Amino acid sequence: MQHELIQEGEFKYVTAGKGPVLLILHGLFGALSNFNEVLNRFKNDFQIVIPMMPIYELPVNETHVKSLSDFIHRFVEHMEFSKINILGNSLGGHVALVYVLNHMDMVNSMILTGSSGLYENAMGGSFPRREDYEFIKNKVAFTFYDPETATKELVDEVFEIVNNKEKLIRILALAKSAIRHNMGEDLHKLDLPACLIWGKNDNITPPEVAEEFHKLLPQSDLFWIDKCGHAPMMERPEDFNNILEPWLQKLFK
């Protein structure tokens, strides 16, 4: 990522721009660079802030969705933000949901894309075979509609993670936590503007998951991107931004 990574105490983050805060939360295997195109598109109108979640730093017994939500709350307080707009992909969407549930007064709007919280088919439904590069390559490709989106750099990154025992333990702990922490009974409480941007070909949080979010969130708008998988902001960034921009503009007109 071309923007400087700032470190302040327990927090590492990237920020750019000025204006209302758009806080972005990455997924389980996500990186800050996953949102490059979002940052570049919106930094003229928003203060874009992307914190690194401490997925690999938490004690194993505290590696769960609630701990990450608590971390985000500490970060928001550290930055002295109020009335943020929060965007989350995959696990990041789940963390956003838990954060919003507990801190509604701090949030103006929520954007979810490929979010867990209701159902997810993590790693394509099978345990990651650690030393099998071709297996990992196929599982990363499973994330996208176009397997070419799974670049060698991306596959190498995931391969390194699952072959690091300490990281793998935490990845599995978080994946199990996400499955256990179902948000279905709480979503009706999240009565704030919510934008759902979903790949029609998402294999991990399939289209019926988006439909369920849309049904349960009181103020949600659902948008589809065709020929797109689990990470629309990476695979179809222009389409993603073309949906998000007018939706945000309506909030701030």
pLDDT by residue (tens digit) across 34-72?
A: 899 999 999 999 999 999 999 999 898 888 999 999 999
| pLDDT at site 1 | 47
Highest-confidence segment of 51-60, 65-74, 113-122, 168-177 = 65-74
With a cut of 70, say whether residue 2 has pLDDT above it.
no
Residue predicted with more confidence, 243 or 174:
243
- Mean pLDDT, rounded, of the chain: 92
For the ranges 12-21, 158-167, 215-224, which has the lowest average pLDDT?
Answer: 158-167
pLDDT band at 124 (very low <50, low <70, confident <90, very high): very low
| pLDDT at site 19 | 95
| pLDDT at site 125 | 44
Count Cα atoms within 13 angstroms, Cβ side, for 197. Answer: 28
List, in order of start, the domains of the chain with CATH numbers. Answer: 6-120+183-252 (3.40.50.1820)
